[in-house]
Structure 1
Amino acid sequence: MRLEGEYAGTIDRIVEGIAVFLIEDDDQTLDERHIPVEDLSLNVSEGDRFRLEFDDGELIEISPRPEETADRRKRFRERFERLSRRLGDEDADRR
């Protein structure tokens, strides 16, 4: 897919020094790009959010979005805690 303009991106995973970015638009994954971590000149980890800008399919700029990363991690943590409590309730009911 030839990307043009600005998109949101999330590091899905880092494998052998390669960051795998999921390129997203309106909560839909459009593409994925593999970028060597050493080329990013940033301290990155899985789940980090970025703004990615493309020109004729070429990635020309990448900017971290720390606020989005923190917000997303908070929402996932809260969801996990809710699910954990529910599972704990189910285990207590079985006793």
Structure 2
Amino acid sequence: MTTDGIYTAVVDRFEDDLAVVLLEDDGETVDQAVLDTERLPEDGRHVGAVVSVELEDDEVIDITYEERETVDRSEQAQQRFDELSRRPPSTEDESDTS
């Protein structure tokens, strides 16, 4: 497991009554924690929710929902999706604009 401290984490998935959260350090996934779903803050009980997780002696001792970070990441992902879904101009489109 990772060292003691506070990590940003993202709710990755749910398996029965368990939540799997991916722990990040400097934006990179470094570990995961499996928790009872009930331990998550109520508004953070969805895939993609960003939470702060405090670890001590390999145990999760505190979890806080990060609403602003969740919204920001969701918006950034939607923007990337929108950019990727735009059709690149064809050669016919380019000749129409000349």
Matches within 5 A, 1:5-84: 5-43=5-43, 44-84=45-85
- The structure number with the bigger radius of gyration is 2
Q: One-letter code of the match for 2:38?
A: E
In the TM superposition, what is the alpha-carbon distance from 1:38 to its structure 2 partner? 2.4
Q: Aligned Cα RMSD in Å?
A: 1.9
Following TM superposition, the consecutive aligned residue runs of length 4 or more in structure 1 with deviations greater than 3 angstroms are none
Gaps of 5+ in 1: none
Identity %: 33
In the comparison of the two structures, how many residue pairs are matched?
91
Deviations along 1:27-79, whole A, 9 cap, x unmatched?
11111111121233514100000111111111110000000000000000000
In the TM superposition, what is the alpha-carbon distance from 1:17 to its structure 2 partner? 2.6
Contact 1:2–1:56 (8 Å) recurs in 2: no
